[in-house]
Structure formats: C-alpha cells, structure tokens
Amino acid sequence: MEYKGFWFLPGQTDKQIAGVLTVKKDISYKLELIGGFDEDLQSLISSEKKDVIFGEVYNADNNIRKITLINCYHSFNINFSAKHPITHYNCSVVIDGLHVNSLESNLCIEIRADLSSLYNWKNTGIIKRTFQFPKEPESISKPESISIDLNLKDYWEIPVEINDITKLVLYADSNYDTSSDYKKSTIQQFTRVRIETKTATSINNLYRKLYLFQQFLSFAALNTVCINKLWVYSNDYYEEIKGEKINNPAYIYLKPDEKCNKESETKKSDFLFKFSDISDNFEFIIKKWFEVSDEVAPIRNHLIESIKPIRKFSSVNFLIVIQALEGFHRKFRVQEWKKLRVRLKSLVDEFSNIDEIKKISELDIKQTVASRDYYSHFLIDKEDVLEGVELYYLTLRIKNLLICCVLNLVGFDNEKINKLLKKNNRI
C-alpha cells in the first residue's frame, strides 16, 4: 500500500516535501522523500530521528487524507549529480486519518480493535445458515436450497463501566463485500472490543487500557493474543451527513511484537475459560482485572510470558513462574519477609482441594526451592536441583499454581477453578 503526497514537520507547513510512504503491514513503514527536512548536508548527516512527520496524501477517491508518522529514523542516498538527495525514513507507527503531535496528545475518545482468538472466545453468532432438504428420501443427501442470513437486529453489545469515565464494550460486527457482477459475495462476522471515554484522552492512554484486555484474553487463551486491526476515533476527524457529525476511524499501524503469531488462533477447546464460562460474572471479573492492574502488573506480565508457546524450554522459563508466585504471595497474602518454601507451601495449602494442585508434593516444593536457588544465585550445591525434562514438568505443575492464584485474584472460587482446570486440554 502506497501513500503519495507531501510531507512536513509539525509547525512547518511552508516546507513541504514530495514523497511516498510504503506500508507493508506488520513488516515495515518506509517514507521516501525527494529532498530532506534539514537545511544542509551536514544537518542531514547529523540528524538521527524525527519524532513526528505529518503527511497530506491522496487516496483512491482523490481526496486529501492526513497521515502521522511516529518515531522515524532516517537514512539517505547522496548523488552529487542530482540537485536533491533521496531521504528514507523507517517509522514505528503510522496513523492514517489524523495529525497528532504526540501519542500523548489528548485528542481521542475511543479505540477499537480486532483481536486474534476473540471470536473463538465469544462467538459472534449473527450469521445464520439454513439448509432446505427435499422430502424424497433418495435425494436427502443434497439440499434444495441454502440460505445465509445476516440480520442487523441480531447485533449485540456487552458494556462494562470500568470507572466513571471509561467503558469497555464487547460487540458484534460484520463485513459484506460482493463483486459488481454478483459472481462472488463474502460475508464475515467478528467479535470486537472497544474502549470509550467521556473526555478526550491520548492514544497511548487508550492503548494501555486496550492492552489490559488483550492480556486478559491472553490469560483466558493460554496463548499470546495479537492485534489484527486497530483504529481510533476523535472529535477532530468527522464528516457531516444531513447536518449530523459522524466520526471517522483513523487506522493505526504498529510494529508487531516479534513473538506474536497472528495465525496462531486458540482453538475453542483449548481456552482456560471462555466467555460462556464467566457470562454471569463478566462485568465483575473485568472490573476486578482493571482495578488490580497496577498492583498485579509484574505478576500478570510474568504469567502471560510463562504461558506463551515456546520452542525451547530453559531455566529462565522456570524462574519467571517462581518470581510471579513469590511476588503474588508477598503482595496479596503475607507482605513481610518469608522463605520461598513457606510461601509455596501456603499457596499449595490454599488451593489444596483443586485436583491439579494435589499433584504438587512436598518433594516438588523442596526441589523448586533448590532449583530456584541454584539458577538464580549460581550456587555450587546441586542437591535436589532439577534439570532438563524433570525441570520442565516441575514448571508445568508450579505454573498451574500460578494460574490458580490469578483466577482467585479476579474472583473465581476454588470449585470454579477446579472445573476450569479439569476441562482444559492444555493443563
């Protein structure tokens, strides 16, 4: 995808330079300028980065569209036979539709996202298929007609008031596309999420809130959840239709997380829990997740890191789980100093009526402490220290204890936790 137009720095609309932005989604965002923003060759050579670059480009309908590029690092080609150098910028963020001076500028009122695995977690259910079979038994294998119905009345929303000014909404969405000759028609349904605020805030602030839900879904999926599509709304970007202001979406392209595989959708049978498991308490659980977000941030991050699919196991994976468990017990159970063995024993006792936790023995606790001390403090004594496959399976058992801790924190009781762990195919 290419954006051809003129590019300039904030506050310098009189110094516009022709160029082309090439967007290879999830790969690279490169701007090529005929010339440069710097006055002379020495300034061009010494310049390393432009925090913000604005663009005014022409879309397919020949309408002007605003573009913002964030964190752009440059390189250039010098041809002494040419009047102008060719300047290249590699940018981290592209915002298609708005000019913003910073990701901290308070311009936006809403952010929306299409997240991987969200559809499998909460089925959209707005497309209906009907097969009409003939009454004659000999023809029953072939239907007489097939109808596909998308009824706008079936659209649904599930709102959660996070606080006085912020609301999270799960909602059904769809897309319909057909060729001009009706040779091909495509209907898609999506479950999506949006964060709304009553007062204008920054893209970063909205993204941080969205990221919390993204981590919640990663926890539920026991897998990394990726952003497939991201867009925001601002009161500064709208069109008037019959006297009514309609806010337009401004699309955001981010450099993807290297560990994020968008093709790795979690199967419906592999979730730790799905929406149907928590539908009665969804509002309470989501609010609890957001309320304890700051307190539990390191533990949550360790948990999400520990459940990501890995190609190669190492002692670091083991240590991540132990640090999270120790941090959880110190933050939410006993704040004064305690030995790791005491903390682990306390947590195992707390969840002792859960089948998966019953598998953690006194020897497991002893070997966990010895292994933590050995891999953290590089001790010489290797008594009770596990390695290789034995350490891997110990980590799996201890990780289930961490999952119990986080589920308990957001409102699940032991009976519910036990049911979730028993039915999961990956525990």
Structure tokens at 64: 């002007």
For residues 135 and 94, the model is more confident at: 94
Residue 122 has pLDDT above 60, yes or no: yes
pLDDT digits (tens, 9 = 90+) for 343-359: 999 999 999 999 999 99
What digits encode the pLDDT tens for the residues 357-399? 999 999 999 999 999 999 998 877 889 999 999 999 999 999 9
**pLDDT of 183 over the 70 cut:** yes
pLDDT at 91: 94
Q: What is the pLDDT of residue 64?
A: 87
Phi and psi torsions of 63, nearest 5°: -100, 145
Q: How confident is the model at residue 154 (pLDDT cuts 50, 70, 90)?
A: confident
Q: Give pLDDT, residue 262.
A: 55
3-state secondary structure the chain: CEEEEEEECCCCCCCCEEEEEEEECCCEEEEEEECCCCCCHHHHHHCCEEEEEEEEEECCCCCEEEEEEEEEEEEEECCCCCCCCEEEEEEEEEEECCCCCCCCCCCEEEEEEEECCHHHHCCCCCEEEEEECCCCHHHCCCCCEEEEEECHHHCCEEEEECCCCEEEEEEEEEEEEECCCCCCEEEEEEEEEEEEEEEEECHHHHHHHHHHHHHHHHHHHCCCCCEEEEEEEEEEEEEEECCEEEEEEEEEEECCCCCCCCCCCCCHHHCCCCHHHHHHHHHHHHHHHHHCHHHHHHHHHHHHHHHCCCCCCCHHHHHHHHHHHHHHHHHHCCCCCCCHHHHHHHHHHHCCCCHHHHCCCHHHHHHHHHHHHHHHHCCCCCCCCCCHHHHHHHHHHHHHHHHHHHHHHCCCCHHHHHHHHHHCCCC
Burial class (CB in 10 A: 0-12, 13-18, 19+), 339: exposed
pLDDT in tens, 221-262: 988 899 999 999 999 898 888 888 899 999 999 876 655 665
Q: For residue 158, what are the β-bridge partners?
A: 170
What's the rounded Cα separation, in Å, for the pair 405 and 412?
Answer: 10
Instruction: Note the pLDDT of residue 40.
Output: 61
Q: Is the pLDDT of residue 77 over 70?
A: no
> What does DSSP say about strands 166-178 and 185-201: parallel, antiparallel, or unpaired?
antiparallel
**pLDDT for 295:** 74
Specify burial of residue 30 (Cβ count, 10 A radius: 0-12, 13-18, 19+): middle
Average pLDDT value for the chain: 88
Higher pLDDT, 361 or 36: 361
Return the pLDDT at 135. Answer: 73
CA 345 to CA 365: how far, in whole Å? 7
- Which tokens go with 167? 């609301």
Instruction: Say which residue, 224 or 165, is predicted with more confidence.
Output: 165
Going along the chain from its start, the domains and CATH numbers come out as: 2-96 (2.40.10), 108-246 (no CATH), 294-423 (no CATH)
Taking residues 78-101, report their average pLDDT.
82
The string of pLDDT tens digits covering residues 284-339 is: 999 999 988 777 777 778 877 777 767 789 999 999 999 999 999 999 999 999 99
> Which pLDDT score is estimated for 113?
97
In which residue are the tokens 């209906």 written? 128
pLDDT for residue 39 is more than 70: no
For residues 20 and 75, which has the higher predicted lDDT (pLDDT)? 20
**Residues in contact with 172: Cβ distance below 8 Å, sequence separation at least 6, in sequence order:** 124, 125, 126, 154, 155, 156, 157, 189, 190, 191, 192
Q: What is the pLDDT of residues 52-75, one digit of tens each?
A: 999 999 876 677 899 999 999 987
The Cα 121–Cα 132 span in angstroms is: 30
pTM greater than 0.95 (yes/no): no
Average pLDDT over residues 22-29: 85
pLDDT of the residue at 252: 96
28 pLDDT band (50/70/90 cuts)? confident
What was the pLDDT predicted at 30? 94
CA distances from 368 to 148, 309, 346, 350, 353 (A): 56, 22, 14, 18, 21
pLDDT exceeds cutoff 90 at 131: no
Nearest-angstrom CA–CA distance, 341 and 365: 7
